[in-house]
Each structure stands twice: as C-alpha cells, then as structure tokens.
Structure 1
C-alpha cells in the first residue's frame, strides 16, 4: 500500500508524494524536487533528523501523513591544482580529476557525509564534518591524517599551505599534518599554540595569531616558519597577519609593519621601513606586499617582478582600493595590476605578462574587478564589458569572443584561460583551449550558471539547480563523467 507523504521547503511550499514502501528516499526526494521546481537537497524526517537517500521508505519508518522537509543546501566547489571536490546540497562529496591530486576519494567516500566545509592544498583535500571531525584524501602530503586523526575533534577551521594542513580547534589549540618540514609538524611550538584566533599560511609555513596579539610560526624556516628576527616586534601588539607566497607581514598596533621569510619576496622591509607608518591595510601577491597608508599612499616591497617595485607608477597609486581584498590587486608570474578608486587600472612588472597595459589603457576606465592567469590580465568594467592584455595565448587576447563579453558579472581563471559569467547565467571562455579556454563541447549546458571555479587546467560551473558542468584538461578535472550521477 502506498504511503502518502508531504515534502515541504523552508519557505512553506509543499508537495505531495505517493510512495511505495520499497522506494528509496532518493526517489522521493527527486519526485518532490520536480514538483516543487527546486534544486537538490537533503530530506529531513518528521523529527528533523537527516534521512539517508539510500534508505527505503519502509526502513525509515515513514507513514502516511508524515511531513518531510527538503533542505536545499548551497553547492560549493574546492580545487587542488589538478582536481575538484564538490560539496553537494545533501552534505556528500563528489571528486574528480587527477587521482594523485585529490580526484579519487573512494577509500573515504563512506565517511564523506554531513560535510560542512572543504579545504584544499596543492595536492589534497580536507573536509570538516558537521560533528567537527575531519576526513582527508589525495597526496600523502596532507591527504593522510591518520597519525593525528584522534586529535581532530571539534575543528573550527582549517588552513592549507602547499603540502600541509593546520586545523584550528574550538578550544584554540592547533593540529597539523602533511609534509613535516613545510608546516605539517608543529611539535616544536605546540605548547605556545593556545588561544589561537586565526592561522595564516605561505606556501611552506604557518603563522598563528594568538589572542592578545602574539604570533607563533612553524614550518620551513626560510619561507616564514622562523620569525625569530622580528619576534620582539611580534610580542603582543599584532593587529593582523598577511601571507605572500614565501613571506609574512604583520600589521602592528602602532601602524608599523614587521615582515619575515624570504627577503627578496617581501620578508625584508628595510628598503621601505621609514615609509611604513600609519599603515591601514596590507595586501600580498605571490612575491610582494603592498601597504595602504592612512593618507591613501601605497608602499610596496618584495620581488619587483611581482609588484615589489612600484616606483614607475607611484604617482598613480594614491587611491588604490585595497579594501576590495583580492580583487583590488592582482599579480601573475611576472606582473602586477592595481585597481584604483576611480576605476582606473595601474600596471607594472614584465611588459609581456601584462606589466605594460598602454595598448588598452584608454579602455581601462571604470573597472570593478581584476583577474589574472599566469601571464595575462582581464578587467571587468562597470558596464559589464571586459578588457584583456598580456600574453595572447594565456587569455590576453579576447578578440575572438569580444562581442559576447557583455553584461559580465565576474571572471574566473585557470592557469592560461579565462571564463566569464554573464548576467543571463551563460559563460564565455577564451585563452588556452587545453586549460578551459574552449568550452564549445559543453556550451548547451552552460546556462543558468551562478558560480564558476577554476584550478590549474580546468573549470567547474555550478548551475542554479545545483548541477555541475566541467570542461578543460581531463587530468585536471575537465571531465567529470565518472561522477555525473552524483553531480546531477
């Protein structure tokens, strides 16, 4: 005899489903979705508990008249350099791409339920579950947390370095795993890691900001794991920490700055120390830092190729909007671009990589977003148009799709290609075809898109219904056909 159920959304909208006792709850959910016209989600029982989609109506003890809730979660995608992991609406996870880079999670798949958040380093993933425990997979440098698994309880947040992870527990302590030399082993400073507020990471080291201002560092001494040279300054007056690729910079209470790590990539402020007064905010590229002063001036230091030398455009850098976080300053492997408050864009560094934007400077007015590949830049203007410059094959030449680049909301990048999301939910791509610059094979599916994620060689687009479309280099996750059923 059929069981008559009601499935309700949080909004109050309801759908009736007549289900046989043998039906799996996944079938009940999908039928309700079709009737309600909504995306994927997870079913909650009459008492509010999660119902496994693989259980039957009979197994769940459901009866006629029961009211179930369809909880619609937000689909999110995390990426290593060559793989993707999608956190689905029901709290499960689907992975694809290079198996050695986190694209294969079969051995932990049964544990990947009720996932709250996913973090990624270069080659592995770490998932925080709703109960505060952690599941890891991918390369051994971060993908294997067995040695610390018993301590990974009540995890509040996870920070990733290149080949290691650091978990901040709710009690303010820290647990690390991965490459021991590059941040996976914090035993030397374990006793100091109490009342930790936030953890930051360079490529090979971590820095923990403690309650009251002290900073504790570990990992590769060369790349920021050793803060001994500035430890006196980092006593108890640190307002915040910023990490570049190979160095840290701390903003102190008095408006000055202390930096450590590789000197040539921002770890040495001696050349600009007299200028670093009344600093309001610090931003970082892979190899340099930029400080916004209270009077609107900008001071830069570190690798010239990554923006550490802005002397040639200093007069233009009086109104850079550092408050816009990563969108205000972008740097690729050889050049730097800064977004100013009047919408203009200032560039410097290797000319061929976008450090010289003279050819498009007249078009670069009223810009509102910057994005970069390894050797090119793209700017979204306030009217939704797009301007590109830099290496043509890496996205610096968008002439082939320029007519389509209208009403653009945002842009994402792979290593050598761009993907633009338009206001109508469609996607336009250009640049290196092998890295996602050619999306013709999935064009019909690229509609009603709300978000795009990219890694080194591929893209993943999340649609309004929660489904995911991928394209680009197969080994980097451009082909998700093996998990298509999970991503539907």
Structure 2
C-alpha cells in the first residue's frame, strides 16, 4: 500500500511524493529531495513542525495520504556588500535555492524586483553596492545599484552556462563554461571588457583590484582590463607574465607569483605596483598578502619582503631581523601583523591602525589566530583568552569586557567592532557601540551561537536552532526583523563577505594557489573618510 504526501519548501515550491507505507522516512526524504531538486542536507518536518526520524517507517510516524510535510534545507550562504559608507545589505541564499535580502534597499537590500527569478540559486557574489546570483541553469540575476553592476540586462543573453563570478567595487566578471568571460557594471572599472574580449579564452581565474580585473589563462598568461591606474593595463610587464600561478591585488595594483617563485607587479606604484627596488629579494615566494596600500610576501625560508606605501606597511626593514619563520600575516587598513612559528607576533605600519603592538607585546604569546577591524587587531591565544591593540574606537581596547573573554572559539569583525563566540555559545562584543560593539539589546537571544558574520556596521549570528539574530546599524543590516520568518534553520551558514575595496584585501588569504575572491569578513569605510556614496534611498 502506498500513500501520497505533499512536501513543501520554505520558498513555496512543492511536490507530491508517493511512497510505500512500509518505506523508511529516509527514503521518503530522498524522493522529496529528487522531486524538488534539492541536493543539500535537509530534514523532513510534519505539520506540527516536528522533525521526522529517518530510521522509522512511514507507518510508524503515522503519515497518511494528503499530509503536508516541510523539507527544511540546512545549508544557507550569506553575503554582505560593504560599500564603505553607512549603507550595506545582506543577501541570504537558502538551501532550497531561494534568496532573502535585508539592509539598505538601494544597495541590494531589496530584491523584490527580481524575486521571482531568484530560484535554484547556486551562489551569490557582491560588488560594492549590488549582488549577482548564478542559477542552477547557469544564468545570472543581478540586483542593487545599476551603476555598481546591479543591472545585467545588457549582457543577459551572453550570461549562459556561467561557472563563477568575480567582482570589483563597481563591476562584475563572469567566467563561462567555455572559458570565455562576460562583464557588466561601470565600464571604466572593468564592466566593459570588449577591448580584450578576443584574448579572454580559457580563463582559469579572475582577480580584482578596486576598479580593474586580471584574468589568468590556461597557458599561464594574463589579460587585464579596467582603469589603468588600478592595474587595468599590464602592457609594461606583459612579456614577464608567463607561467603565472597566482595573482594578488591591493587597492590599485596587482602582484603575480610565477612558477619559479618570482613576482611581477603592475598598477599604481604607490599601492605596490612597482617592486623593482627589491626584485632580487623576491625569490621562492610562497604566498603574498595584500592590504589596500601594500604587499607582503612570505618566502620559502619564512622571511618576509614588503613593498608599496611605506606608511601603511610597505616597509618592514626595521623589523626584518624579527620576521623569521612567519606562518601567517593579517592586516588592517594601514598595518600588518605576522604570527611566527613560536606563536609570537610582529607588527608594522601605522601605529594608529595596529602597527604598534608594544603595549601588549608581553601578552602576545602562543597566538593561534587573529582577526582585524579597520584599525585594530584581536588575537586569540592558546588558552582561549584575547589580546587587542590598535585604535580603541575600532575595537583596539577590550578592557571593558576582558573578564568575559574566556574560552573564545572565534572572532568576527565589522569595520569598527568585534564579536567573539565563547565555548558555551554566548557572545561578547566590543568596539564602537552604535555599529555592533554593543549587543546588549539582543544579549538574551545570543545563546548557542554557531557562527557570526558582519557587514560594515552590523553583525548576524546563526544559532543552533537555525534562527538568526542581528544587531548594529539598521542601514547596514543590523535589523532583520522584516525577514525573520524567512530566516529559519540557517544552521550551516557559510558567509563570504565582499567588503569595500579599502578592506577587500583583508579577505584575501593568499595560499600560493589560484584562489577565489574574498571569503571571510573584514570591514568597510568610515564616516570621516567615505568615498562617494552609491545611489541610496
């Protein structure tokens, strides 16, 4: 005997599924996943919201023909565009392929105009003030500020079989299955690639500076386009760009690691586009890290070579004897910090941006990892405690919450604040109160937190039960109450923050391999030094 049940997704999509009465709930779930084209981990819930045990039979859980079930998909991806001013938006990709957005409408927080198209979404990328989603069929849907790539209609017919999307501040570049590339957005910033279109064949990876793109082709050569002052013109070094393995970008320059471990740079010299003065030192380069204004290369012997704007970390000569056995480099807007093999830390660059850690140097022992806001650093030690330094307003002073910072598991940062998850799932915040440094209004809700992500001036926490708690500036996505019902069962969140270009570079963890664009949180602009705002309501 068989029964037929209706299985719904949160997006509203549904399917009638027929199953034998003695079949397992697990087999019913598998059939529902197939009927609804849901590949991700998920759970079946009955009409009362109870999770059905996959090991039991349909009869044992008392299902009958006509029953309505819900298929809850566990995987959610969340992105935030961080345009450097007060306005930012979040975009949540639910496991069933639908999308939920909130934050400032003008920069992508309102996707209602394309909501019906946002089905079977596979991944989302963000520019400074817009989003672009790849659908299962390889097409693309864009929304947000048109001047920042939020309108892809001019190239819609070309956007077929898209494999991945890269973004700079004001434009997008899509790699198609055949290895060609399609671009849109601000023409000067790389949204118009027609001048090099014939060269864009067999594209393997695209990297972005603030307003330019660089593509590595299958033969190891490189094609660039966009604003020349941001690295969009590599003609001066074109003959050297052979056997390129990886490209890293600062705000206005690129650095390519070749197969032999040497480095080729181009773009604005003040931002690291000219490494000629130390070319002889750039040998056996394993990875390159980049801030907005400078580069830092880790060599095979664990030493470091830096170049670019000296004031912002491009000159580490005074500390060269200390930079040995370097394992990891992190950076703020104007400084670098390196973890050595023995767990000690060396910092350089502007003191006001965290380049001087002398006040806490004795505490910086057994450092495991660290996070940064725009002008401060926070290090997690081996015992789970935290040490902070840099600009106090930006979270460089955690003394007010120091006693609470015990058994810290991870730290996330907005532009001016930090949020730490403790071993018991609670959260401690510090930094600028208005922009996420004060979570007291939602503290009682912050229990069993699994993960935290940030926009410029707001945080979003995913709880064990799948709910989402947000706090910080409303204009940056600090209030998700309007979409709270849609943001259920968000456990398994994977957030990849695309920040304003000044801090995009914080997201680029160079590995020596051909890496994708930014994948973790950092920060955006500041009220006293904003670039021109995109169109906002």
TM-score, normalised to structure 2's length? 0.78
Whole-angstrom CA distance in 2 between matches of 1:219 and 1:31: 53
For residues 41-61 of structure 1, give each alpha carbon's deviation from its aligned partner in whole angstroms, at most 9, with x where no partner exists: xxxxx9xxxxxxxxxxxxxxx
**1:76 maps to which residue?**
77
1:34 corresponds to 2:49: yes
Name the CA distance, whole Å, in 1 between partners of 2:426 and 2:400: 17
| Runs of at least 5 residues in structure 1 that lack an aligned partner in the other structure | 18-27, 39-45, 47-61, 322-327
Q: Name the structure 2 match of 1:431.
A: 431
Q: Residues 307-334 of structure 1: CA distance to partner in whole angstroms, max 9, x if unpaired?
A: 211112111111111xxxxxx3222222
Matched residues in 2 for 1:219 and 1:319: separation?
Answer: 37
Deviations 1:330-384 (A, max 9, x none): 2222222112222111111111221111111111111121211121111111221
Distance 1:361 1:156, change over 3 A: same
Structure 1 match to 2:104: 98
Structure 1 residue aligned with 2:518: none
2:326 to 317, 320, 324: 320
Equivalent positions of 1:296-311 (< 5 A) are: 296-311=302-317
Distance apart, 1:71 and its partner CA? 5.8
Q: Unpaired segments of 5 or more residues in structure 2?
A: 9-23, 30-42, 83-87, 489-537
1:113 aligned residue (109, 112, 119): 119
How many Å apart are 1:280 and its aligned residue?
2.0
Q: 2-side partners of 1:475 and 1:71: how far apart? A: 30
| Deviation larger for 430-439 or 72-81 | 72-81
**Farther-moved stretch of structure 1 (171-180 vs 269-278):** 269-278
Shift of 1:186: 0.5
1:424: how far off? 2.2
- 2:151 pairs, out of 125, 144, 155, with 144
The structure-2 alpha-carbon separation of the partners of 1:455 and 1:179, relative to structure 1 and needing over 3 Å to count, comes to: same
User: For residues 397 and 117 of structure 1, what CA distance do their matches in structure 2 show?
Assistant: 37
Which has the larger displacement, 312-321 or 161-170?
Answer: 312-321
- 1:238 is displaced (CA, Å) by 1.2
Give the paired residue count: 444
1:282 aligns to 2:294 (yes or no): no
Q: Which position in structure 2 is the counterpart of 1:449?
A: 449
What is the RMSD of the two structures over their aligned residues, measured on CA atoms?
A: 2.5
Shift of 1:173: 0.7
Q: Secondary structure at the match of 2:156?
A: helix
User: Which secondary structure state, in structure 1, belongs to the residue aligned with residue 239 of structure 2?
Assistant: coil
Q: 1:223 aligns with which of 216, 223, 230?
A: 230
Q: Does 1:175 align with 2:182?
A: yes
**Which residue does the alignment assign to 2:170?**
163
1:16 to 1:292, Cα distance in 2 relative to 1, 3 A: closer
Decide whether aligned partners of structure 1 residues 294 and 99 sit closer, same or farther in structure 2, where only a CA change above 3 A counts: same
Per the TM alignment, residue 286 of structure 1 is displaced from its structure 2 partner at its CA by 1.4
Structure number with greater CO (CA < 8 Å, separation at least 6) is 2
Distance 1:180 1:365, change over 3 A: same
**How many Å separate the matches in 1 of 2:45 and 2:287?**
48
Query: 2: distance between equivalents of 1:98 and 1:272?
Result: 45
2:369 is the counterpart of 1:354: no
What's the CA shift string for 1:412-462, capped at 9, x where partnerless? Answer: 111100011222222211100111001111112212222211111111112
1:268 is paired with a residue whose SS is coil
TM-score using structure 1 length: 0.86
Given candidates 181, 185, 210, the residue that maps to 2:217 is 210
Q: Secondary structure of 1:289's partner?
A: strand
Q: Secondary structure at the match of 1:456?
A: coil
